[in-house]
Amino acid sequence: MRRGLSFAAGLLAGLWLDTARRSRRAEREHPPAGSFVKTGLEAGGTTLHYLERGPTGGTARGRPLVFLHGNGIIAEDWELCGVLDRAAERWHCVAFDRPGHGYSEKPRGGHSPSGQAAILRAGARALGLDRPILIGHSLGSTVAAAWALDYPREVGGLVLMSGYSYPTVRPDFVPLMAPAIPIAGQILSRTLAQPIDRLILPALLRRVFEPNPVPASYRRIPPDLLLRPTQLEAAAAHTAALIPGAAALAPRYGAIRCPTAILAGEEDRIVDPLDHAARLHRDIQGSSLHLLAGAGHMIHHARPDAVLDAIAGIVRVADAWEAAGATVSGTREDSHARLGA
């Protein structure tokens, strides 16, 4: 018995050291590619990492776009698909690492979509981003919707892609939540989780991208960077908070009045487009719905042109509203219908 306990303790210690070594190596090989901003105390003084592209000076600054990635990945996802750099040819673009992901600090709380929105909104304000268009993918889409609901006068428009918007039974979420368990989850994320996840990551990526192939560009991100303990714990906490968070947001979607485009792949095998995208389109008055044939969950990789077209459409409507002096009220709602967004 004692020998078995000693062996188990030695194994866990070895795995702990190996996880730390791999994490440090991944950070050396793939250091932060962007800049950092610290939120105010109202958002916990969280340090956020972000990529910034496009015109940033004077009148050439342009309307800001804020990109929010999905769960378990980092802001560079928007760069790998080409959307960030192509959008930056026309607009001022900022892609945040969501809290706890990439090189953004993992806060003690704020794991719900609304909690993340509060932190990211504080980061955007610290950067001087005025009424940005929010572009969210997957869980980032849920965060973008929460941002628009909680701070409606501070959001210029929404482009929501492959979003999880309504509470549904998701048994596949359960194993993903394990690193969020207090104490035990931290031990797991530093010992067994990384070698197990390293084995299943290729299959998981194939499933997320199906029926489209995993792009070769994804090899630019070291797997161990995505499997660092802090990122595993943040992704687990965000997953655990997603269903109750969506349940809290769902009755409020009808209050969204800013220009909104909703995109989903018809063959999405992660989030059912009829249960979420189509239903959200019905709930958000005046929104546009784009169901993309032959595309799965990662539509910004499979159909970047469609994503950029949707962004351009929302920017046009948002600019027209502001030129007409529309407000977050009936005037804005009428303008939305009139402009056919």
State the pLDDT at residue 292.
97
Q: Which domains does the chain have, with CATH numbers?
A: 32-171+243-339 (3.40.50.1820)
pTM of the model: 0.92
Element (H, E) at 263: strand 260-265
Count of CB atoms within 10 A of residue 137's CB? 29
State the pLDDT at residue 138.
98
**pLDDT over 90 at 47, yes or no:** yes
Burial of 289 (0-12, 13-18, 19+ CB in 10 A): middle
**pLDDT over 50 at 58, yes or no:** no
**pLDDT over 70 at 316, yes or no:** yes
**pLDDT over 50 at 331, yes or no:** no
**pLDDT over 70 at 56, yes or no:** no
Residue 32 has phi, psi (to 5 degrees) of -55, 130
Amino acid at 74: I
Residue 93 has phi, psi (to 5 degrees) of -120, 135
> What's the whole-number average pLDDT of the chain?
90
- Tens digit of each residue's pLDDT (9 = 90 or more) over 231-266: 999 999 999 999 999 999 999 999 999 999 999 999
Lowest mean pLDDT among 131-140, 153-162, 180-189: 180-189
Q: How many residues does the chain have?
A: 341
Residue 62 near residue 92, CB atoms below 8 Å: yes
DSSP 1-32: -HHHHHHHHHHHHHHHHHHHHHHHHHHHHS--
- Tens digit of each residue's pLDDT (9 = 90 or more) over 21-43: 999 999 999 999 999 999 988 88
Using alpha carbons, list the distances in angstroms from residue 161 to 43, 204, 268, 272, 306. Answer: 26, 19, 11, 12, 11
State the pLDDT at residue 168.
93
More confident residue, 20 or 276: 276
**pLDDT over 70 at 329, yes or no:** no
CA distance 119 to 43: 5
Lowest mean pLDDT among 123-132, 185-194, 279-288: 185-194
- Tens digit of each residue's pLDDT (9 = 90 or more) over 82-115: 999 999 999 999 999 999 999 999 998 889 999 9
State the pLDDT at residue 193.
86
What is the DSSP code (8-state) at residue 160? E
User: Shortest CA distance to 49 belongs to which of 279, 234, 213, 266?
Assistant: 234
**pLDDT over 80 at 304, yes or no:** yes
CA distance 265 to 163: 11
Residue 238 has phi, psi (to 5 degrees) of -70, -35
The band of 338, judged by pLDDT with boundaries at 50, 70 and 90, is very low
Percent of the chain topping pLDDT 70:
90
Q: What is the mean pLDDT of residues 293-318?
A: 97
Using alpha carbons, list the distances in angstroms from residue 145 to 50, 92, 141, 157. Answer: 20, 21, 6, 10
Amino acid at 110: G
State the pLDDT at residue 323.
80
The band of 154, judged by pLDDT with boundaries at 50, 70 and 90, is very high
Q: What is the mean pLDDT of residues 288-297?
A: 97
CA distance 131 to 151: 10
Residue 43 near residue 65, CB atoms below 8 Å: no
